[in-house]
Structure formats: C-alpha cells, structure tokens
A = this chain, B = another copy of it.
Amino acid sequence: MVKRVSLKDIAREVGVSSALVSYVLNDKKTGRINKVVAQKIKDTAKLLNYHTNQIARSLKTNKTNTIGLIVADISNPFSATMARIIEDEAAKKNYTVIFGSSDENPFQSEKLIETFMNRYVDGLIIAPRENTEYLLHDLVKQEIPFVLFDRYFPSINTSYVAMDNFKASFDAVKYLIKCGYKKIGIVNYQSTLQHLNDRTNGYLKALETLHILPANNLVKEVAIDNIPVHVENAINELMAMSEPPDAILFASGEIALHGVKHIKQQNIKVPSELALISFDEMAAWDLFYAPLTYIKQPLQKMGQLATKILIESIEDNSRIQRYHLPGSLVTRQSTKLPL
C-alpha cells in the first residue's frame, strides 16, 4: 500500500505545527486562527489529498463512529432491509456499520459482541436471539449504548423499537372474522421470544373479544430446527381435523413461504377453502395465484428510529426509549372481502 499523507506532512509543507493543522481541519478555534494560514492549510490538505486517519483519531478520542449491527441472518430479507435502512440513517450522521449474523449457534451472539467491543464500536443495534438476556445485562452493566429492534426483552432496562405485534395480530384476526371466517388457526414458532408470543396472544385476544371460542388445537408451534417439514406437518394436522380451519394466520414470512408452497401442492383452494394472512412483506406473495394479505411492518420507521435512538444515547447519553409501532394490514386476494 502506498504511504498516506499525515498531518505532519501538511505541517511541514506549510511551516506550522501539526497541532495547528489539526485545529484548522477540524474547524476548532475558528476565528482565533490567522485566516491566511488557515486557508493555506486547507489548500495544502486538498492538494496533497489528505484524509484523516480514523484509527489514530479513534485511539485518541475513544470514538470510532462505528455501529455494530447484529441480526439473526443478514441473508434473510427482513434483516437485509433493516440493514439497508440503518446503513442510510447512520451514514447521514457520519457513522459506518459493521454487521454480524447471530444465527442459532448459542455462542455466536457472544462472539459477535466481543468482536465488536474489541473494535470499540460506539454502540450496538441488536435483534437478539432467544436466551441471550445475560449478554444484554452485561452490556447494560458495562454502560455500552445499545438498542434492540424487532425482538425485545421486557426485563432488560434498555431502549427498543418493535412493531406492536399484539395489535397487528389482533387486527388481522378481527379482519378475518369480519370476512366471515369462524375457525381460524395460527402457525407460529415454538419460542419464548416476547414478540412472537405477542402474535399468538393478539390472536387469542381477538377470538376472545369477539366471542369465538379458541380451539386450542388450532394453535400450532413449529420448532426452528427444520422449518419446511414442521410447517408441512402443522398444516397437515390442521387440515386433517374433523373441523379444519377456514383461515390461517402465519406468524412470519418464512413460515408462510413454506406453508403456501405446501397448500399449493395439496391443491387447497385459497381463499375459498382456506384464507391466508401472513406477517411480513415478501416479493413472493405477488406471484401466488391469490396474492397474500399480509401484515406490513413499518421497517423504515423502525430502522430509522433505532438508529436515531442509538446515536442519541451515544452522543448525549439520553434516556431509555421504547416503541411499539403500528403495523398495517394490506388486504388482497388470499382473503375474501369483508361481509
């Protein structure tokens, strides 16, 4: 690699101290510096194509202007879209993003946090995996700024930004009932994560509120170790019941993807035999013969807000903020029209 230009090089060229060069290029002490000298420094910096060495600056200031982003898997569309929104928002405020995928490997989250801390990121944005509360408690104790998104732990004293999953689910089921469906099932992950439980709870509450008896066996939970197979089984079980459901709510895009594929293969007619609603927006929904009605998460707002809150808490150590943003139901042909 070619040698880079340093402050000292500019100082030597102009005939001043490197301290002065630093002041000028950082716009410190403006007004108290000789205009002519200042201009000459700026010109020389440009001429020599000077760029601050962020590493050296960081070492001195203890600030890297870097955010660590930890998602479940950067290759899934939800994470990737969030990454993009966070990237843009961070760039506006002069932050760069490093990312990592925590997956389902239990040590991966820990390892990522450690890596990011060694690199002295200024803060973290995390979609935490199950059973990682202890890691987050650690971050709180070390006073490292971080905000959770999508998923959250009520027990941890930190900021987060999530959708109001309870209400989104509640509204979706209310809509199904309004369309005349009476036996509504749900397929969710088997998980202790609060935002997923909120989805099932919203579903149950809607049935209760509208005086529909929730049949317990219409709630299916699939283990994450082999989603395609577990989803197929769940649907087979539901449809083999003496009174099979006339509508299903899928608690995630991933579940729905496998669910719809299977329903198509089984030649179950949507929406006449079975109505479908899924969480999450996906390009795939449009190619199904009955484009899916889905719950759209406010990704843009979630990402921007999470980034904004994080940077605020990095820069002025501000108070904890928690958001449950409203989702919206996009109604299409996988559900009949309301009666």
Q: What residues of chain A have their CB less than 8 Å away from a CB belonging to chain B?
A: 1-2, 51-56, 58-59, 62, 64, 66, 73-77, 79-81, 83-85, 87-88, 91, 96-101, 114-120, 141-144, 257, 260-261, 264, 282-289
Contacts and interface: CB of A to CB of B under 8 A. Distances in A.
Contact of A284 (B79, B98, B287): B287
13 contacts: A2-B142, A51-B117, A59-B59, A66-B119, A76-B80, A79-B80, A96-B98, A96-B115, A96-B116, A257-B287, A282-B283, A284-B287, A287-B287
A51 B2 contact: no
A58 to B, nearest CB: 5
A98 B101 contact: no
Nearest to A122: B1
A95 to B, nearest CB: 10
A119 B55 contact: yes
A320 B20 CA distance: 43
Q: Which of A2, A66, A80 neighbours the largest number of chain B CB atoms within 10 Å of its CB? A: A80
Given A83-B75, A84-B101, A98-B97, A1 B287 contact: no
A5 to B, nearest CB: 12
A83 B74 contact: yes
A236 B142 CA distance: 61
Contact of A74 (B58, B64, B87, B289): B87
Contacts of A62: 1
A55 to B, nearest CB: 5
Contacts of A264: 287, 289
A124 to B, nearest CB: 12
A87 B53 CA distance: 25
Given A58-B55, A120-B54, A84 B74 contact: yes
A237 to B, nearest CB: 22
Contact of A59 (B55, B75, B141, B144): B55
A54 B88 CA distance: 26
Given A59-B56, A257-B283, A287-B284, A81 B75 contact: yes
Nearest to A119: B54
Given A1-B144, A55-B64, A99 B87 contact: yes
A91 B285 CA distance: 34
Contact of A54 (B56, B80, B118): B118
A52 to B, nearest CB: 6
A260 B288 CA distance: 11
A163 B145 CA distance: 42
Nearest to A108: B91
A120 B53 contact: yes
